[in-house]
């Protein structure tokens, strides 16, 4: 029994597939925005470009400047030619990555071949479909050419413009998925907020593929939450403290 009777199923709701957008709205900041006023318990429906209506001079926006990696790679087994799909999860060294590997019999010692003469050896089985891979060369220069952006499972249309799955302020490569709340900012909106006296600060949190993992435990206390790498600059921490003071 969950604590105080709280169950995961209490949060179930019906979401018609027709309401899941398969492509981003254009311009970005014309997406719908729902605002909850906690003081009055009222809900307002607006557009994202109206965000400034709900902020005051002196407020501080803190955004995640992570950049989505084209972390989905397609290759084949060096010995049998069987198809392999690799989703990079975390870099441990310049040529060593943890990765989600889809393909049969990928035990330590097996080699995967990719375009441009790139190879990867499976060096460890980390449980389930996760493997540690050692690549023959660093990936930094090659991912943009041979990698694909991994999309959420509910997006079924192919991505025609990878930059539409990046925020306009993305800087630090490392995420397997976009920090989607930030996708609706535009340079014009950011400038308007600055002119309104709204502060702007950044953090970096690399979003992992586990962000799409469902909660399977009926008792939410038993759900294992995944970990993600993050960094908060001292300047950002200082500005947060000053704003909240």
Q: What is the pLDDT of residues 16-63, one digit of tens each?
A: 988 888 888 899 999 999 999 999 999 999 999 999 999 999 999 999
Percentage of the chain modeled with pLDDT above 70:
98
Angle at 155 between CA 150 and CA 161, to 5 degrees: 60
Distance CA 231, CA 136 (A): 29
Stated pTM of the model: 0.82
Give the pLDDT confidence of 74-122 residue by residue, as tens digits: 999 999 999 999 999 888 998 999 998 988 889 999 999 999 999 999 9
3-24+55-68+160-244 domain in CATH 3.10.20.90? Answer: no
pLDDT at 4: 66
pLDDT number for residue 151? 80
pLDDT tens profile 112-153: 999 999 999 999 999 888 899 999 999 888 888 999 988 877
In this structure, which CATH number among 2.40.10.240, 3.40.50.970, 1.10.20.10, 3.20.20.70 belongs to the domain 72-146?
A: 2.40.10.240
**Domain boundaries, given as residue ranges, for the chain:** 3-24+55-68+160-244, 72-146
């Amino acid at each position: 029994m969950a604590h105080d009777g709280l169950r995961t199923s209490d949060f179930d709701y019906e979401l018609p597939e027709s309401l899941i957008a398969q492509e981003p709205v254009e311009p970005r900041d014309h997406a719908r925005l729902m605002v909850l006023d906690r003081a009055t318990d009222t809900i307002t429906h607006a557009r994202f470009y109206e965000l400034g209506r709900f902020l005051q001079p002196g407020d501080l926006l803190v955004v995640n400047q992570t950049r989505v990696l084209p972390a989905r790679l397609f290759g084949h087994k060096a010995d049998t030619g069987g198809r392999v799909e690799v989703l990079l999860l975390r870099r441990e060294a310049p040529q060593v990555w943890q990765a989600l590997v889809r393909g049969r019999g990928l035990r330590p010692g097996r080699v995967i071949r990719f375009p441009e003469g790139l190879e990867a050896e499976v060096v460890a089985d980390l449980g389930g479909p996760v493997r540690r891979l050692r690549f023959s060369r660093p990936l930094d220069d090659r991912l943009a050419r041979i990698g694909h952006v991994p999309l959420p499972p509910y997006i079924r249309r192919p991505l025609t413009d990878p930059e539409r799955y990046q925020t306009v302020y993305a800087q630090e490569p490392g995420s397997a998925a976009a920090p989607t709340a930030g996708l609706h900012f535009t340079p014009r909106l950011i400038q308007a907020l600055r002119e309104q006296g709204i502060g702007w600060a950044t953090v970096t949190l690399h979003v992992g593929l586990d962000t799409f993992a469902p909660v399977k435990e009926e008792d939410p206390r038993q759900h294992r939450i995944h970990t993600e790498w993050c960094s908060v600059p001292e300047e950002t921490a200082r500005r947060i403290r000053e704003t909240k003071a």
